[in-house]
Every structure is written in C-alpha cells, then in structure tokens.
Amino acid sequence: MHFTVKKISCILACPIISLFFSSQVLADKITLKIASGHSPSWHFIQLTQNYFMPEVKKRVKEKTGHEIEFVEGFSGSMVKTTEVLEAVQSGVIDLGIFCICHEAQKLALNNFPMYLPFGPSNPEVSVQATRKVYDTNPELNGQFTKYGQRIISLVPFEPYNIVARSPILRAVDVKGKKVGAAGPNAFWVENAGALPVSVPGPDMYTSLQTGLIDSMIIFLSVMDSLKLFEVAPNFVDVSFGAMTVTSLTVNNRKFLSLPKDVQDIILAVGRDTELKGGVMTRELGDKMIQTVKSKGINVSTVSESDRKVWAEMLANSPREVARKYEAENKLPMQKIMKAYIDATEAAGYKWPVKAKLD
C-alpha cells in the first residue's frame, strides 16, 4: 500500500512538474544585441529606438508570452559605421543598422538608388519603390544572405542637397569647385566639372571652414545638426533624390534559433517600420526646411530647367556603373536599375531625364 501511494503521488505530481518546466520554455527571455556606428541624432536610429524595439517587445509579450530584451550599442559603442555588416555576419551583434553606402563593394547591387540621381525626393515614394524592387528581385536579398544575415527593414534618407560657401543655382556653378561627396554619389558633381573630395562626417565643418571644400552633398538635418551653416551659409535645393539605402539586418543563425512566432513578429514590425520611416523622414525634411528658413539661411532652388540640364549630364553614368559591376561581379545591376525606375514611375514620379541604360 505504501508503494502504491508513492506511485500515485508521483503520477499526480509529474504532470505538474512537466507543466512548470514547459511554461519556462514557452515564456523564456530572449536577449538580442542591436547596434550601429551611428548615434541617436540620426533619424533611423530614433526610429529603431522609438518604434521598432518597443513594438517588437510589446507584440512578442502580448502574442507569445516570451520576453525580448534589447542590449543597445549605438554611437559606435560596439561597432563603427563601416563594421556593422561584418559584425552581424560574425554574430558579434544580432541586429545592425547601417548605411549600405558604407559597403560599396560587398553590397554594390543594393546601392542601386545611389546610382540613379534625380529620383523621387519624397521618402515615402522612395522606400515603397525600393521595397517593391527587393520583393520582386531575390538577388538583392541574396547579397545579404551571402554575409549570413537577412534584411528586416529599409529606411530612406532625406533628399540629398548641397550646403555651400557661396550660392549655387546651376550645374555650371560647381565647375572647378571642390565638393564633398561620398563614393557612390561623387559622379553627381564630377560629371558637372566639380572635383569630388571624400570628407567624413566629423571633418565636414572644418573642411568647409578652411576652404578644403567649397560645398558638400548632404541632408538638411545633418547640415543643421553639425552647424555647417555657420561656415557655409547657403542651402541649395538640388533635389538629387531621397535614397533608401539604410538597412536593419539580423544574423541569420540567431534569427532561425528564435521561435517561429517571434520570427514572424520581427519581420512584421520591420515592414511596419518601413512605412513609418517613410512618413517620419518626409516630415523631418519638411520641418528642417522651416527651421533653416527661420535661421535666415540663404535658400536657393535649382530650377526645373536647370535640374534637367544637370540630370542630362549624368544620364550615361548609370549605364557605365551597371556595365562595370556586371562585368566584374556578374551582378544584374541594369535589371535592378530598370526595376527601380519602373517602380517609381508606377508610383507617379516623373524623372527629369531618364537614365540611358540600354
């Protein structure tokens, strides 16, 4: 009888113990390291901190019972701006936010918006068109897969324009001038006769102050945050376009180790982040225009006719870029460029001059 009572007690207790340990597995705490070389002064880091991270935590807790804890490493505390792709690949961090422009060789194909200047200046149109190209051309996601990660979200930049020491109204005004430019966008001014100079962010102010450069291709919010107008009091609205070349990626091994319902939430929030990012970036640009005007900065706008002349100077360059990468890396750059042009036109955008790709 004594043996039977003990046996019965065990039978009754075992399911309770099993249920207890099952609940621990079902409601575990998941820690994810997320980092960038950029600081929270950048809008895409703000978007990540203020929407993506809290929204993932909220949905995961409500819908799965799991708990997500993000360990942040922004402002270069874990990785530099040029190290994010490799850090995600190696698993040093789980998620990374970076500008694809910093990976001009490894992610050349994904830099396609940069090679098509004078595209849409509305960030919402830019990000939606770019997403359409990604979803219909698996080669783009395949570039990230090669480096052990997958893309979760794309975020557009504000329209690229120029901050200058002296006014610029036409392409001819940059001829012979030294213009700060970064890699993929150097030909935007080089084809107009300018001398592109690579200038990192921290050196922009002193480079303009000392005359090392006469102007800089950059976004309006950066012009303001770095106080560039103190040494270059001219904002030139060229409308080179809003380029969607910022990505949030996740290490593929880490992602696949997560419960399926958590994976689905991360991907869904990533897509929602894109939509919010388009709106946020447009509103930021509108706000910055008003801020600049209120400070008495000289604002000039390149006319539509002069913008067309400038665009004509650059019309052959996308084809040259496409042929280069297709020959060297077998990348379908021309196909991707055409897809982006088609996607923007489908959204109602009219290019001042269409790139001569054939």
pLDDT > 80? residue 3:
no
Residue 204 in any domain: the answer is yes
Residue 295 inside a domain? The answer is yes
Mean pLDDT of the chain: 91
Q: Evaluate whether residue 122 is within a structural domain.
A: no
The reply to whether 77 falls in a domain is: no
| pLDDT given at position 293 | 83
Local confidence band at 225 (pLDDT 50, 70, 90 cut-offs): confident
The CATH number of the domain where 206 resides is what? 3.40.190.170
Maximum distance among all alpha carbons in the chain? 103
- DSSP H helical segments within the chain, as ranges? 2-26, 43-47, 53-64, 84-90, 123-136, 138-145, 187-190, 204-210, 220-225, 252-257, 260-294, 304-314, 317-329, 333-346
Q: What percent of the chain has pLDDT over 90?
A: 82
Query: Does residue 264 lie within any of the structural domains?
Result: no
Distance CA 137, CA 116 (A): 18
CA distances for 240 relative to 10, 136, 234, 259, angstroms: 74, 25, 17, 43
For the chain, how many structural domains are there in total?
1
Question: Strands of 159-164's sheet, edge to edge?
Answer: 195-197, 178-180, 215-218, 159-164, 234-242, 298-301
Among 260, 350, 253, 271, which Cα is nearest to 311's? 350
Q: For residue 12, is pLDDT > 60?
A: no
State the Cα–Cα distance between residues 314 and 316, nearest whole angstrom: 6
Radius of gyration of the chain (CA): 24
d(CA 48, CA 40): 9
For the record, the structure tokens of 208 come out as 């303009």
Could you tell me the pTM of the whole model? 0.89
pLDDT of residue 182: 77
* Residue 95 pLDDT greater than 80, yes or no: yes
pLDDT of 17: 43
Averaged pLDDT for residues 67-88: 96
Mean pLDDT over 151-166 rounds to 96
- Between 26 and 214, the more confident residue is 214
pLDDT at 27: 59
86 confidence band (pLDDT: 50, 70, 90): very high
210: in domain: yes
On the question of pLDDT at 15 being above 70, the answer is: no
Residue 186 lies in domain: 159-243+288-346
123-37-85-59 Cα dihedral, nearest 10 degrees: -70
Q: Are 263 and 56 contacting, i.e. CB atoms less than 8 angstroms apart? A: no
For residue 325, tell me if it sits in a domain: yes
**What pLDDT, on a 0 to 100 scale, did the predictor assign at position 67?**
97
Identify whether 172 is part of a domain: yes
